[in-house]
Amino acid sequence: MPLVSELDPYRLKATPSEFGDSEHYGVDDPYLPRTHADVDRRVATALAGERLVLVIGPSKAGKTRTLFEAVRRELPEARVVVPDPESLARVPVSEQYRNHPETLVVWLENLDEFTRAESSLTPRLLAALTERPARTVVVATLRSEKYEELRAGGELARDVRAVFEQSTRIELAPTSASASEQAAAKRLYPSLDLARYGLAEMLAGAPALLAHYRRGRTPGRITAQSAAYTAVVETVIDWARIGRFDPIREDRLIELARAVIDTRYSAYDITDDILTAAIAEARQPQQGTGHTSAIDPTWLANPRARAYRPFDYLAAADDGQHEQTVRPIVESFWPTATLNANYATLTAVGASAYLRGHLDIAFELTRRAADAGHTPAMTNLGALLRACGNLAEAETWTRKAADTGDSAAMNNLGVLLKQRGDLAEAETWTRKAADTGNPAAMINLGALLQNRGDLAEAETWWRKAADTGNPDAMFNLGLLRWERGDLPEAGTWTRKAADTGHPAAMNNLGVLLKQRGELAEAETWWRKAADTGNPDAMFSLGVLLEDRGNLAEAETWWRKAADTGDADAMFSLGVLLHDRGNLAEAETWTRKAADTGNPDAMNNLGALLQDRNDSAEAETWTRKAADTGNPDAMNNLGVLLQNRDDLAEAETWWRKAEDTSQPDAAPDRALSTQTHENHRYLRRLEPRTHTRT
């Protein structure tokens, strides 16, 4: 394990250039401080914390160099562990790793490569990496398009999304996104043409390589050599894009590139010799492109042969980065490229197909591996079936995987059993998964225990999960302490969860702060949560703004929340519109809220209808609200009944209203529309049941 000071960014996969490589680091390749969005300072601050530090950005934005320089600056005496995806799970159980007395930095370059089914980075594995006596800092890089793909990846990406939630995420833009950074780059590297592209892109010669690769797609007549080059590079790119992390062997590359030639370039006489020459050209740097080639060669043993991975900038461009149009992967490529693949590869490519929206392919590949008894595939197949609503078959496959001892499958089986009401067996399987150290299972077990009233054990499990850094567990634990009246500890855990960017925790922290009169900080947290799209925070922020007379912005936030279907926001928006005389739109929003079953909205809708003399429908809605126990509606119903001389029933409802101890419930009360004064700030703070895979 080398010291940070003994390394250079190129050994950690930064792209070498004519200005610098592993043998000449620090001579002619000065580091450009990343001042835009305060990136350098934010990375340094994150390195002082306890969370995964994740630098996200487009290909060739400078992620690796930026992260390395920060680690070198902040942790020069730390030692660095650079596992590959296959060995990551073995790192925390290594005696040398666990007992090493010095600070260790675990470096995960291209985090998406650590999300494959066989050795995926899960919250449990992340916690295990840091469970050693000495300090451990886990750092990673991730391309922007991969981050978006995984963040929106549904059932099969739940674990990696949980890892994202437990990370400090710092986005790095190309220098071209900042006039000041680009000007500084021009001063540091005056010989580079930085008129259009960022510094890291130009150092790698990436735009020139992209143009050279795309020659084969230009309209009109092209050379056979250009067509072959494009076909070869495209094939290597698609091999990686479908989720194959192994390099493609040269003989297989020629075979698959031939299919591209036969389909797109059938008018050209392109022999295998021309394809071989194109491969040789693609693995060499082009003139003016620095030290980078379109495909990166490596030698495989048994039998000895060259194999290739693509230059990530080109793969990112084909996925729509760098202002490019997404190039679809030909559907037939998926089964062809997985012919004779092992079960782990089938599972990984099946997951990639799911993330890219190819459900039929995902099912086909995953089922092939599951039918062979491959546990990760059985787990994934169960998750895919559950996502598609086939719960019976989902349970069958998930149970098969759970019977092998797979922690994720045991947790998923618990979720499925809970959904069909078998709480006893659900608890059994969830407890088995929790006993393995699975944070998602700990959270789910806590929820099951809470639902049957065992709050003490629920708290125990949530504490265990919170101690792994899980923000959902922190949120639930904070809420539990809140409900028990322990506001100081509730605030501590809620703030910890909020500091991770947890939207519901940010909203709840705002509530706690508001309750103790700290309105400025409450507003800060509500704005942060509202900016994530959290409707509770939008509603609460609207109430705060209304209280201080800022009705225009209050309306803006209530409209945003109402557009998500939030009934309280619809109700509040209706009141605001009513108060300023916009009765038609007030009725529209109040009716929408009433249709959700909101008693206050039902009552208000009745009042609005009565105001326009629709007494029959007014009584219908007011009675619905009164039947829920709403005292204002009971009083209003009494007024409606009195107006049509049904004094006996009117008296009945007024007595019910009086029994609720409402001082304003009296026979002579006028029909009234509710205001926000009785509305709550504390909203929908139930513990969440997690269903992670």
Cβ(573)–Cβ(589) under 8 Å? yes
Q: How far is the CA of 219 from the CAs of 215, 226, 320, in angstroms?
A: 9, 12, 20
Q: Which residues of 438-459 are buried (b: 16+ CB within 10 A; e: fewer)?
A: bbbbbbbbbbbbbeeeeeeebb
* Predicted local distance difference test score (pLDDT) of residue 669: 31
Domains 469-556 and 565-661 share a fold: yes
Please determine, for residue 81, whether its predicted confidence score (pLDDT) is greater than 60. yes
Q: In what order do the strands lie in the sheet with 305-310?
A: 248-249, 305-310, 295-300
SS3 percent helix, strand, coil of the chain, rounded to 5, is 60, 5, 35
Q: How many CA atoms lie within 13 A of 336 on its CB side?
A: 16
The separation between the first and the last C-alpha atoms of the chain, rounded to the nearest angstrom, is: 33
Q: How far is the CA of 245 from the CAs of 190, 496, 651, in angstroms?
A: 38, 36, 76
Domain ranges of the chain: 4-188, 191-323, 469-556, 565-661
Please determine, for residue 150, whether its predicted confidence score (pLDDT) is greater than 80. yes
Peptide bond into 303 cis (omega under 30): yes
How many Cβ atoms sit within 10 Å of the Cβ of residue 182? 19
* Predicted local distance difference test score (pLDDT) of residue 686: 34
Cβ(467)–Cβ(446) under 8 Å? no
How many Cβ atoms sit within 10 Å of the Cβ of residue 97? 18
Q: What are phi and psi of 52, to 5 degrees?
A: -55, 130
pLDDT, tens only, 186-234: 999 999 999 999 999 999 999 999 999 998 888 878 999 999 999 999 9
pLDDT, tens only, 542-563: 999 999 999 999 999 999 999 9
pLDDT, tens only, 349-377: 999 999 999 999 999 999 999 999 999 99
Please determine, for residue 685, whether its predicted confidence score (pLDDT) is greater than 80. no
pLDDT, tens only, 18-45: 999 999 999 999 999 999 999 999 999 9
Cβ(507)–Cβ(537) under 8 Å? yes
As a whole number of angstroms, the distance between CA 647 and CA 644 comes to 8
Q: What proportion of the chain, given as a percentage, has pLDDT over 90? A: 82
Tokens in use for 463?
């504490």
- Under the banding of pLDDT at 50, 70 and 90, the label for residue 153 is confident
Cβ(205)–Cβ(252) under 8 Å? no
Cβ(670)–Cβ(642) under 8 Å? no
As a whole number of angstroms, the distance between CA 109 and CA 85 comes to 10
Q: Looking at beta carbons, which pairs linking 385-389 to residues 24 or more positions away fall under 8 Å?
A: 386/155, 386/412, 386/416, 387/154, 387/155, 388/359
Cβ(479)–Cβ(687) under 8 Å? yes
Tokens in use for 33?
């401080």
Cβ(485)–Cβ(466) under 8 Å? no
Least confident of 122-126, 155-159, 249-253, 689-693: 689-693
Q: How far is the CA of 184 from the CAs of 32, 56, 154, 179, in angstroms?
A: 7, 22, 41, 9
Q: How far is the CA of 111 from the CAs of 143, 276, 316, 403, 655, in angstroms?
A: 8, 32, 15, 30, 65
pLDDT, tens only, 456-510: 999 999 999 999 889 999 999 999 999 999 999 999 999 999 998 899 999 999 9
Tokens in use for 479?
């809420």
* Predicted local distance difference test score (pLDDT) of residue 661: 52
Tokens in use for 516?
């103790």
Please determine, for residue 379, whether its predicted confidence score (pLDDT) is greater than 60. yes
- Look at residues 136, 135, 127 and name the one whose alpha carbon lies nearest to residue 163: 127
E strand intervals along 238-372: 248-249, 295-300, 305-310
Arithmetic mean of pLDDT, 331-359:
95
* Predicted local distance difference test score (pLDDT) of residue 660: 81
As a whole number of angstroms, the distance between CA 627 and CA 625 comes to 5
Architecture of the domain defined by 4-188: 3-Layer(aba) Sandwich (3.40)
The CATH superfamily label for domain 565-661 reads: Tetratricopeptide repeat domain (1.25.40.10)
Q: How far is the CA of 191 from the CAs of 182, 185, 186, 209, in angstroms?
A: 14, 10, 8, 19
Cβ(276)–Cβ(257) under 8 Å? no
pLDDT, tens only, 506-536: 999 999 999 999 999 999 999 999 999 999 9
As a whole number of angstroms, the distance between CA 525 and CA 110 comes to 32
CB proximity list for 321: less than 8 A, separation 6 or greater: 58, 59, 143, 144, 145
* Predicted local distance difference test score (pLDDT) of residue 43: 97
* Predicted local distance difference test score (pLDDT) of residue 117: 58
* Packing angle of the helix pair 615-627, 599-611 (nearest 10 deg): 160
Cβ(297)–Cβ(277) under 8 Å? no
Calculate ∠ Cα 465-466-467, nearest 5°. Answer: 90
Q: Looking at beta carbons, which pairs linking 514-521 to residues 24 or more positions away fall under 8 Å?
A: 514/540, 514/544, 514/681, 515/681, 516/487, 519/544
Arithmetic mean of pLDDT, 676-682:
26
Classify 549 in phi/psi space as left (phi over 0), alpha (psi -120 to 50) or beta.
Answer: left
Q: What are phi and psi of 78, to 5 degrees?
A: -75, 155
Tokens in use for 687?
């513990």
Cβ(497)–Cβ(475) under 8 Å? yes
pLDDT, tens only, 91-122: 999 999 999 999 999 999 999 999 875 678 98
DSSP 86: T
* Packing angle of the helix pair 583-595, 599-611 (nearest 10 deg): 140
As a whole number of angstroms, the distance between CA 268 and CA 261 comes to 8
As a whole number of angstroms, the distance between CA 592 and CA 141 comes to 45
The CATH superfamily label for domain 469-556 reads: Tetratricopeptide repeat domain (1.25.40.10)
Tokens in use for 439?
């944070």
Whether this model's pTM surpasses 0.85: no
* Predicted local distance difference test score (pLDDT) of residue 221: 83
- Under the banding of pLDDT at 50, 70 and 90, the label for residue 672 is very low
H/E run at residue 81 = strand 79-81
